[in-house]
Amino acid sequence: MITAYGADNVMITAYGWRLCTEGPWFAWSTDPPDARAGRPCLAQPSHMPPLEPTLRRDLVVVGGRATVDQDLRERRSVAVYRGVHVDTRLAGEFSTRCRAALETQSEGAMLSHRASAVAHGLRWVPAAWCGPETDVDVAVRPPRTTRQRAGIRSYERLVAADEICLAAGLPCMSPTRTLVELARERSLPALLVVQLIDGALRDERTTVDELLACADRLRGHKQIARARGLICRARPGVDSPQETRLRMTLEDGGVTGLQTDIRIEEFGRLLARGELGDPRLLLWAEYDGFDVHTQREVFESDRPRHRWVEARGWDVLRFANGDFSNPRGICRDWLRAAANAPARIAAMPASRSPEVAEARRLLGLDM
């Protein structure tokens, strides 16, 4: 709450803005009265609507009921939610809707779930989550003391102090708690949740251990077993949501032993990096996204790199977006390559590469 000043510099409390008066007109000022001494107020020819979501009752105290209603009729302001008004030009912004939603809730409310994920800027958040048709998710301390409102989805949650932070200037659940709450939501597809967790791990916004510790603190709550299961399916080092989709497609088809972020290094120098594979069987998967891999420089560098990896004994399997229309085909190709891998590895000398030597040792071919 920020102080506002009405006629005769009477101090009035409002949200996020200050008013000064000169005659019958209101004008906006970010300065207190003493800073405005000796210069005229920047008066406007009409009342200006609030630049921040503000409760109607506070606006009525400052400008009067008739002025507030006139702003609504003339579309200078709009009620984002019942009883919360803002300048019409700002009403469509996601941050404005979030601030307005929080104004309707009891003290201590914060953004949660989808709204918190957007505020934190988590990687691979669906664009629709900040669209005008999506409800704003908020968490309130139980018991809820305000009624449910259209456009706002409120959850009763006990949130520890270290699970609350500011994001985009708004009180939110921490990234870790946000992801755990999303994982509890049965309405969200498992693939989407794991993609979001993979993105957060990639950006080091959280860790698997932190996510599991948060889930442990919520033991006994609804859908926490689902959340733990999805957390355990997440992996660090994922470069795109489609890589997550490929990994989960293979896992759902019975493939085991998959690793992300495979690195071939010698003497501390990175020689090649793979998105997904199984080093035990020397299987190397590549997802070729159209937008990236059709760029000339990427296209021209992919081929020599794949030939170099194959020369070291790896079997490179390449997938594209169209393959997801036949998930069984993806799994069939992988399982066939896995079944042929022991004989292929046995036919290669250990001297071909350090990876071949290790694979032969794991198969018991060499001591």
- In three-state form (DSSP H/G/I as H, E/B as E, the rest C), the secondary structure along the chain is CEEEECHHHCEEEECCCCEEEECCEEEECCCCHHHHCCCCCCCCCCCCCCCCCEEHHHHHHHHCHHHHHHHHHCCCEEEEECCEEEEHHHCCCHHHHHHHHHHCCCCCCEECHHHHHHHHCCCCCCHHHHCCCCCEEEEECCCCCCCCCCCEEEEECCCCHHHEEEECCEEEECHHHHHHHHHHCCCCCHHHHHHHHHHHHHCCCCCHHHHHHHHHHCCCCCCHHHHHHHHHHCCCCCCCHHHHHHHHHHHHCCCCCCEEEEEEEECCEEEEEEEEEECCCCEEEEECCHHHHCCHHHHHHHHHHHHHHHHCCCEEEEECHHHHHCHHHHHHHHHHHHHHHHHHHHCCCHHHCHHHHHHHHHCCCCC
Q: Taking residues 42-57, what's their average pLDDT? A: 66
Per-residue confidence band for 193, with pLDDT thresholds at 50, 70 and 90 = very high
Q: Taking residues 325-331, what's their average pLDDT? A: 96
Question: What is the reported pLDDT for 41?
Answer: 38
More confidently predicted of 256 and 53: 256
Averaged pLDDT score across all residues of the chain = 84
Q: Taking residues 45-70, what's their average pLDDT? A: 81
Lowest mean pLDDT: which of 200-209, 286-295, 321-330, 346-355? 286-295
> Is a pLDDT exceeding 90 seen at residue 291?
no
Per-residue confidence band for 333, with pLDDT thresholds at 50, 70 and 90 = very high
> Is a pLDDT exceeding 70 seen at residue 85?
yes
Question: What is the reported pLDDT for 12?
Answer: 38
Question: What is the reported pLDDT for 289?
Answer: 73
Domain ranges, ordered by start, for the chain: 2-91, 106-233, 241-362
> Is a pLDDT exceeding 60 seen at residue 195?
yes
> Is a pLDDT exceeding 90 seen at residue 1?
no
List of residues 6+ apart from 25 with CB closer than 8 A: 43, 44, 45, 46, 47
Question: What is the reported pLDDT for 28?
Answer: 36
Architecture of domain 241-362: 3-Layer(aba) Sandwich (3.40)
And the tokens for 44? Answer: 């406007």
Q: Taking residues 288-302, what's their average pLDDT? A: 54
This prediction's pTM: 0.81
Q: Taking residues 316-332, what's their average pLDDT? A: 95
Question: What is the reported pLDDT for 97?
Answer: 93
% of the chain beyond a pLDDT of 70: 83
Question: What is the reported pLDDT for 52?
Answer: 85
Q: Taking residues 143-148, what's their average pLDDT? A: 80
More confidently predicted of 47 and 175: 175
Question: What is the reported pLDDT for 294?
Answer: 47
Q: Taking residues 260-287, what's their average pLDDT? A: 92
Per-residue confidence band for 53, with pLDDT thresholds at 50, 70 and 90 = confident
Per-residue confidence band for 47, with pLDDT thresholds at 50, 70 and 90 = low
> Is a pLDDT exceeding 80 seen at residue 146?
no
